[in-house]
Structure 1
Amino acid sequence: MTTTAVILAGGTGRRLGLEAPKQLATVGGRPILTRAIAAFDAAPQIDDILVVMAPGHLAAAELAAGPYSKVTGVIAGGASRTDSTLSALSALADRPGDARVLFHDAARPFVDARIIAECVATLEHADAVAVAVPSSDTVVVVEDDRVVEMPSRGSLRRFQTPQGFRLATIRTAYERALADPEFAANPPTDDCGVVHRYLPGVPIVVVPGSEQNIKITHPVDLIVAEQITSRENAPGSAD
């Protein structure tokens, strides 16, 4: 049973104020995309890697992926997260349904080996797995500028990636999503959201994430990312 890592790099740098996709920005002297690829290339549980890049930037992604032997393809993504996932599923159409796939945001360059290993191990006995960390903030539901609900913080988690699935599961979820006329107008924000909505009987097992597994979205995130890399490169740090 093979395990493929799909690196979703279809986003842009608009919120970072960048002209090129944010995945090509450098952190600690290395492109964000390169760091994400390297983490999965080094993981013994991963058999191959597929990179889904923003259209028009495939050459840059191929350059970033060049040193990594597990990368078997660099393809163009779509206008949305779900479009990019569908591009990946199309590229994996010849894989059997019991194969495993991990979808990871390229904008999370600090995913660690423990998270990857636990996701793959969980898919030995589950059809879907998510990575999450406890919410350190109180999260409230607001309507018309008024608080209408205050869920217990103890049960709340913040999703990260990777998110992992048996291929048959994520394929079926998207088949049902595409058959729903409301899907395009109100798509879930991630792949676990698609499974949760369209395959509600499939449990999504949660494994612990890491506060270092940040998503680079806003300018302040680049500052935090540089601080993380400076700690990695400090004298006495582990390789």
Structure 2
Amino acid sequence: MKKVAVLLAGGSGKRMGSTLPKQFLTIGDKPIIQHSIEAFDNHEGIDEICVVIHADYHEEINDLISENNYSKVRYILSGGKERSDSSLAAIKAYEREQNVYLIFHDAVRPFVSSRIISDVIAELKSGKSVAVAIPTTDTIFFLNQNETIESVPDRNLLRRAQTPQAFSYKIIKSAYDVATSDPDFVATDDCGVVLKYLPQEPIHIVEGDESNIKITFEQDLLQGAQIVEKK
């Protein structure tokens, strides 16, 4: 089946304190989103790329793609108010094909490795839904409504989520079909949608990487620059 990387870049990045969305801020000599596009465009296992971006920035992303001749980019779609709206835009774009894997990736995780992408594709080919995560080194407190400690989960069973998150079209479409009929539907990621609305579908973990960081705050730009220097 066709492997499609869906780059989710619909956010405004206001926490960064910039007039530009954070995906257009520069790390090294490239915008953050360019690092992400190249990670998938250069990977031999990826057949095409779908970019979901804020409607106000289509011109900027079109210029970037044209200037760099990224041949795998097929769709540039507009995201919505919520992250789930961006995922739904990609799902709708592929409804006529369906014989695809959708590999959802936060565009502001610019350093996803070729190894992670390869591992995700291998798991998809074996019929699995996939999440990327790394072990937590910190003790985690589970609080009650009074904001006091209720329990301390076993750290060996905890993971810090990253992206990509990847599914066959049939699985992710089915999950969102159920979710969007729920008047209380709220989602922060695609695994959460599958977990809640298709609980019988197991989601398998691929080991992530500490360098697969998400650029959220200004200090993350410095860490990103250090990663680029090491490369």
The bucket for the TM-score relative to the shorter chain is: over 0.9
1:87 & 1:127 partners in 2: Cα distance? 23
The DSSP-based 3-state class of the residue aligned with 1:123 is helix
Q: Is 2:83–2:187's contact at 8 Å kept on the other side of the alignment?
A: no
2:149 & 2:217 partners in 1: Cα distance? 26
Q: Is 1:7–1:49's contact at 8 Å kept on the other side of the alignment?
A: yes
The aligned counterpart of 1:114 is 115
- Confirm or deny that 1:181 pairs with 2:183: yes
Shift of 1:188: 2.7
The aligned counterpart of 2:58 is 58
The CA RMSD measured in Å over matched residues stands at 1.0
Q: Which runs of 4 or more aligned residues in structure 1 lie more than 3 Å from their structure 2 counterparts after TM superposition?
A: none
The DSSP-based 3-state class of the residue aligned with 1:164 is strand
The aligned counterpart of 2:27 is 27
The aligned counterpart of 1:235 is none
The aligned counterpart of 2:13 is 13
2:96 & 2:122 partners in 1: Cα distance? 23
- Confirm or deny that 1:168 pairs with 2:183: no
Please list the CA deviations of residues 55-80 of structure 1 after superposition, one character each: whole Å capped at 9, or x if unmatched.
20111111222221000121111111
Percent pairwise identity: 43
Q: How does 1:127-146 map to 2 (within 5 A)?
A: 127-143=128-144, 144-146=146-148
Number of residue equivalences: 228
1:5 & 1:158 partners in 2: Cα distance? 21
1:122 & 1:175 partners in 2: Cα distance? 24
Q: Scaled by the length of structure 1, what TM-score is found?
A: 0.93
1:69 & 1:53 partners in 2: Cα distance? 18
2:182 & 2:45 partners in 1: Cα distance? 35
Q: Is 2:132–2:207's contact at 8 Å kept on the other side of the alignment?
A: yes
The aligned counterpart of 1:72 is 74
The aligned counterpart of 1:236 is none
Please list the CA deviations of residues 124-162 of structure 1 after superposition, one character each: whole Å capped at 9, or x if unmatched.
123410000001111111232311121011110011001
Shift of 1:2: 0.6
5+ residue gaps in structure 1? 233-239
- Confirm or deny that 1:192 pairs with 2:196: no
Q: Is 2:172–2:194's contact at 8 Å kept on the other side of the alignment?
A: yes
Q: How does 1:228-239 map to 2 (within 5 A)?
A: 228-232=227-231
The aligned counterpart of 1:223 is 222
Q: Scaled by the length of structure 2, what TM-score is found?
A: 0.96
The DSSP-based 3-state class of the residue aligned with 2:205 is strand
The aligned counterpart of 2:91 is 89
1:231 & 1:189 partners in 2: Cα distance? 32
Letter in 2 for 1:138: T
Q: Is 1:115–1:208's contact at 8 Å kept on the other side of the alignment?
A: yes
2:183 & 2:81 partners in 1: Cα distance? 18
Q: Is 2:8–2:51's contact at 8 Å kept on the other side of the alignment?
A: yes
5+ residue gaps in structure 2? none
The aligned counterpart of 1:205 is 204
Q: Is 1:127–1:169's contact at 8 Å kept on the other side of the alignment?
A: no
Q: Is 1:141–1:148's contact at 8 Å kept on the other side of the alignment?
A: yes
The DSSP-based 3-state class of the residue aligned with 2:11 is coil
Letter in 2 for 1:44: E
